[in-house]
Homo-oligomer: A and B are copies of this chain.
């Protein structure tokens, strides 16, 4: 039996929701992913596994998000990304390449780092802090250098 498939089954079982092929498919995609996934990416990968309607995918993502199985990662271009939200994958900053659009996960902040971010005078109840860093990834930066050399 597939290792990932087992994890996916357990997750749905623990959440107390039905184990449908579509949900297992989505969950396995997240479990295998190393970066946050856009909706279109999920759609493509899921299509290779199981028959599904776009409405179903929206509902599954919304359900998983509400159950805390996945979390949403906001990005510049308004496209929504998602990633798995397990205990060993706490909230962390993301790097967003302006050129290729790729999102990569960065190391989570330490407690003292995150405390520095909040001005103590602000009397807000903080739920969470999202940090997103934009720039050029290593690949795109090198490509740009080559480009410049050519010109």
Q: Residues of A with Cβ closer than 8 Å to B?
A: 72, 74-76, 78, 80, 93, 95, 97-98, 106-107, 109, 113, 116-119, 122-138, 141
Write out the residue numbers on chain B whose beta carbons fall within 8 Å of the beta carbon of A122: 95, 106
- Select A135's contact among B116, B125, B138, beta carbons within 8 Å: B125
A88 shortest CB reach to chain B, Å: 18
- Select A74's contact among B74, B118, B124, beta carbons within 8 Å: B74
Least CB separation from A77: chain B residue:
B74
- Each complex incorporates copies of this chain amounting to 2
Q: Could you write out 22 A-B pairs with CB less than 8 Å apart?
A: A72-B76, A74-B76, A74-B132, A78-B78, A113-B117, A116-B116, A118-B133, A123-B138, A124-B133, A124-B137, A124-B138, A125-B141, A126-B133, A126-B134, A126-B135, A127-B134, A128-B135, A129-B131, A129-B134, A130-B131, A130-B132, A130-B134
